[in-house]
Structure 1
Amino acid sequence: MRQRITFVHEPQDGIDPKSIGIHTNTLTLPALKAAREDQLTLSLDELPQELRIALSQTKELHIRYVTAAPYDSIPPFNSRLAPGLHVYYTPKTEIGKEGQEFSDLLCGLIDTLFDLEDKSLCQTPEISFTSLPSKNSQQSSTGYEYYLPHSQLSASGSRPLQTYASRLCDSTTCHTRVSSALRSAYIDLDFSSTTGVSKLTTFWPSQTWDSVSVSKIDHTDRVELGVLSNEKPIREDDLNMSGFLTVLGESKAPAPTMFQFPSRHHTHASRFSTAFIEPTGLHPTLQVSLSSSQPPKGREGCRLNAHLNLPRSVFPDKYQFRDALYLADKNLSALHHVTLPVDLEAPEYTMALWGSSLLVELAPPAPSEGEWTAEIPLHLRYLLPTESGYSTTSLPAPEVFWACDAGEESKLAVNPFDRVNLGSYITHQDIKKFVAELFTNNALDIDQSATIPEKHNQGTVSPKERAMRSPPTKLAFQRLLAIKGIEEIVKDKHKRHQKLPIAVSSKKQERWPTKDSVAASSESPSLSKRKERLPIMATVAASLELFKLIEYGKNDYQARPQSQLP
């Protein structure tokens, strides 16, 4: 087992390296204020049996759980995901062939880790998961995704995280380490058959640590500790970090270090807010209000996009996005992706899929600091009748981000802190046949509600009109800029605005150097306003070309290639 513990603090919160205690099997730190990331690298033999068997039958599996509590991020930990459970996996063979057995194991594994109260939420990947688009036509296996908002897990509070953490490993010492994750912001579990190992990553936002003691879980473990802070980078796309690195059993004293590397995620000053236009009715329109149409500084050809993860009760009609005049009226440019198939008529309670995803390009006005809005049309399904006439469902907020071409001079390298496989990726090709992948990182929860009339309309576009409309334009993106972070700043009678810094995506490296509620009713429509502060995501596209790796040293901080979803 390999352990990598990283503390990142503000420059004014630094500590004296002489206060770091180095003992035979333990490293100690004095009180400090910092964000923390722990990464455990485990072999299959070090995992519980059920998890080990499931992983051995898959090509890649990424399980991510994010708590509902909002938190502040600090570089290089700017990536975000929606509160709840995210699963992305690729079987060794196509579903329906030899991979069928793994399909049964996966939902059983999710239930074991999270103790789902409603077992029907995850039946098998063939039934409950949605497929991800392939990077190329030669790809032999398909990736699948699954998402459950925090409100649909076993209970509120820390119980899902507690269940998850307690079942990830077998040994007592591992349980002790993982149990500390109950106060963390997220836990990631990543496995790739290419390496044959799994990585368990836990992140805590900045807080005051009274004292820290890091020891080996097993005498054969390798333990590495870094205490770092951010410095002013030479290039805007890079992060510059300095501090001290220590390897337990090898270092006699903390070694000073300074390194600079390209980062996938950065922040930007833009803000956006969302609300449903009232009255919502059966066909609600999600209004996205942005504080500025200014693209990221120093970037040309950037495109503004919104990505939505929609639950079963809400769905898009792709045919509405094929009318250029209709899109222009909504300040939209094109629909780039929608999960298929989408049943336009089925009630919510007959659906087995977790939901659907939607990627739409926005059409901002000329660059300015003035606020503007875009409107995304959606549709509601019938919900299961209740005695009160009302029921609720969760709707993640959209991920809004700028997508920009990285250019030949900015080839994405390997970031030791990189966090990828954070959501759906969508591939597109332009007329030059360049391909890039678009990773959507996080979806947020926003409290909104709408009433559903008794009758379900059959859409606003006739089949004839649909057949006459041309498909949307496809684009290639090599790097993304994403809007992240959220903080409530303005309230009015229609909606609450929230501050959202934008995250800039750049180059790639690995290792070191609430809810929205839709109330169903047959009476008058209504819309509840946003009720809580929420974090938002960062996204990025990674280049498909392999670049020369950068090695920072002999320890675990050296750059190495990272497997990704196909």
Structure 2
Amino acid sequence: MKRRITYIQRPEAPFAPEQVTLLSKSVQIEGLDAAREDRITFDLDDLPEELRAVCRQSQELHIRWATERPFDAIAPFASRVSPGLHVHYTPVTAGQSSDALCSVLRTAFGVVEDDVICTSPEDSFIAPPLRATESGIAASLQYHTQLPSLTSLVDSLVKTACAGDGPCTAHDLTLLLKADNVDLDFDITSNTLTMSGVWNNAPESVWSETIKGPVSKADKVEFGLLGAEKGIDADEIKVGGLLAVVGEDKKLKPTMFSFPSRHHALPQSAGYMVSFAEPTGLHPTMSISIPRSSLGLPPAPDDTTCGLYTYLTLPSSVFADQYQIGSTDSLFLRSHNLAGLRAHAGETDLEAPDWVVKRWGSTWLIELATPDLDSAVQSANWTATIPLHLRYLNPSESGYRSADVPWPVVFWACSAEDEEAGMGINPFDRKHLGYDSLFAPRTLFYQFHPRSDRLVEEIDFPVLHLKDGEGLFKSRNIELATCAVISLGFLWILWRLVQVTWSSGLGSNGKTERSHKHDKKE
């Protein structure tokens, strides 16, 4: 087992040397104001048998989780995904996915039965648009579910992979409940599973803890305290600070290095808000509002071309019309401040009710149309609107049901002219986010910051009212009225057909009789 703990201090955060003490078998941290990444690498033999079997049948397995709480991501942890659990999976043999994958997801992440609704990858996952990446082909199957907490995962790991008093302890795992992002990645080359968590702020405002060294020679614990700043090149991040291997090094070693980064954070003023126009009804409209002062082009390299995008992750009960969003009608697109639909995948049947939809939902990559900043009022917000639709859901006693829609991510994507160039080695790189594989390998992403108390919108919409009470529109009356209207309509159509047939018959006989009389007279 290998563990790497990295603290990234903000430039304005105070620091004194006595806040970090390296001992013979541990590192003590006192009052440290910093972001943190904790990365643990497990060998397959360290994993539970069911999870080990899933990994052995996986060509690609990448799990991403993001909290519903807002957070300010800092470099080099600037990447974002929509709140919830994301799974990207490719079986070793095409068309032969692991039957145990859904079982592992339900056991590891599901606190209650509806947390992870998954029967098999073929039935529950969607097939995203494929594009070549630096490491081959993006994962062939994708899954998402709204998951507010990682309680079940933490409980499972405490009992299995991190049991005992080693470098991975129950105390460390409970910190995952307050993490901003948690990732799990299986590497088929090394047969290892890496779990990483990121906290952009300490749960208790500052970090004060003791990091223990390894308990066996097979384990390794690495520690780093770094500061990050912009590199010489526009796509680079430069970091410098102190490193140590706990239990081996006698003192902290100074270091400084730089690397190209795929994801960059825009200034904190570059925020966005998501809302739905009221009343939502069955055709809600999502609004994405950004301050006009934050819509200037990002500080990307000169050889890149940038576009403003949003990536939506929608549950099965909510969908967009690919023919409407993908329209080439410039008037329609301008009215919504959209440039066009660039990619979509998942459940897009316009007529299917939610109870017949098997897969979890759909994803949408939409390019937004940027305003003319020279003539715009800089103090105002710029808003893009995306028309959505709600599927028919099962009736309820209240006459209403709700759907949780995670906030989309909003970013600038800047692609280089040389699409074949690689990104180089980044020790904090984060890939397989869903949208990154839809761009060229050397694309840089500049992330906007969501601004809300909760990064999920709850939509209430009307359904059939089951509760029988007073009034004309109770469910029984609606059923009887529907049957009556259908029956009357059928009888009317039948009567009209009889009329037409009878009239045609009379007209034909009359014409024959007149013709016969005329011939006889001649």
Question: Normalising by the residue count of structure 2, what TM-score does the alignment of the two structures yield?
Answer: 0.77
Distance in 2 (alpha carbons) for counterparts of 1:142 and 1:241: 31
Deviation at 1:243, TM superposition (A): 1.0
Deviation at 1:210, TM superposition (A): 2.2
Q: 1:305 aligned to 2:321?
A: no
Partner of 2:500: none
**Partner SS, residue 129 of structure 2:** coil
**Partner SS, residue 210 of structure 1:** strand
Q: How many residues align structurally?
A: 443
Partner of 1:57: 57
Partner of 2:297: 295
**Partner SS, residue 239 of structure 1:** strand
CA displacement, residues 193-252 of structure 1 (integer Å, 9 cap, x when unaligned):
122111111222322122323221433212211111224533343222111111134322
* Residue 423 of structure 1, aligned match among 412, 415, 434: 434
Partner of 2:182: 187
Deviation at 1:167, TM superposition (A): 5.6
Q: Does the Cα contact within 8 Å between 1:287 and 1:373 map onto a contact in 2?
A: yes
Q: 1:518 aligned to 2:513?
A: no
Q: 1:21 to 1:394 in 2, by over 3 A?
A: same
**Partner SS, residue 53 of structure 2:** helix
Deviation at 1:385, TM superposition (A): 0.6
* Residue 330 of structure 1, aligned match among 310, 322, 336: 336
Partner of 2:381: 371
* Residue 261 of structure 2, aligned match among 260, 263, 269: 263
Distance in 2 (alpha carbons) for counterparts of 1:63 and 1:318: 27
Q: 1:354 to 1:413 in 2, by over 3 A?
A: same
**Partner SS, residue 282 of structure 1:** coil
Deviation at 1:297, TM superposition (A): 3.6
Partner of 1:106: 101
Coordinate RMSD, CA, aligned:
3.0
Q: 1:162 aligned to 2:154?
A: yes
**Partner SS, residue 126 of structure 1:** helix
- The structure with more helix, counted as a fraction of residues: 2
Q: Which amino acid aligns with 1:365?
A: P
Distance in 2 (alpha carbons) for counterparts of 1:185 and 1:312: 25
Q: 1:133 aligned to 2:129?
A: yes
Deviation at 1:425, TM superposition (A): 4.5
Partner of 2:475: none
CA displacement, residues 78-135 of structure 1 (integer Å, 9 cap, x when unaligned):
222333211111110112xxx24x1x21000001102352367111111111112222
Partner of 1:451: none
The equivalences for 1:126-525 within 5 A come to: 126-135=122-131, 143-150=140-147, 159-163=151-155, 165-166=157-158, 169=161, 171-172=163-164, 173=166, 174-176=168-170, 177-207=172-202, 208-231=206-229, 233-269=231-267, 270-292=270-292, 293-297=295-299, 301-320=305-324, 321-325=326-330, 326-340=332-346, 342-368=348-374, 369=378, 371-408=381-418, 411-427=422-438, 436=440, 478-487=442-451, 515-521=456-462
Structure 1 gap segments, 5+ residues each? 152-156, 429-435, 438-477, 489-495, 499-513, 524-566
Q: 1:250 to 1:479 in 2, by over 3 A?
A: same
Distance in 2 (alpha carbons) for counterparts of 1:77 and 1:142: 22
Q: Does the Cα contact within 8 Å between 1:86 and 1:147 map onto a contact in 2?
A: yes
Q: Which amino acid aligns with 2:179?
A: S
Distance in 2 (alpha carbons) for counterparts of 1:205 and 1:48: 30
Q: Does the Cα contact within 8 Å between 2:281 and 2:461 map onto a contact in 1?
A: no
**Partner SS, residue 392 of structure 2:** coil
Q: Matched residues, percent identical?
A: 37
Q: 1:48 to 1:423 in 2, by over 3 A?
A: same
Structure 2 gap segments, 5+ residues each? 465-522
Q: Does the Cα contact within 8 Å between 1:58 and 1:92 map onto a contact in 2?
A: yes
Distance in 1 (alpha carbons) for counterparts of 2:437 and 2:30: 45
Question: Normalising by the residue count of structure 1, what TM-score does the alignment of the two structures yield?
Answer: 0.71
**Partner SS, residue 109 of structure 1:** helix
Deviation at 1:16, TM superposition (A): 1.2
Q: Which amino acid aligns with 1:302?
A: C
**Partner SS, residue 55 of structure 1:** helix
Deviation at 1:144, TM superposition (A): 0.9
Q: 1:181 to 1:219 in 2, by over 3 A?
A: farther
Deviation at 1:287, TM superposition (A): 2.2
Q: 1:150 to 1:363 in 2, by over 3 A?
A: same
* Residue 122 of structure 1, aligned match among 118, 122, 138: 118
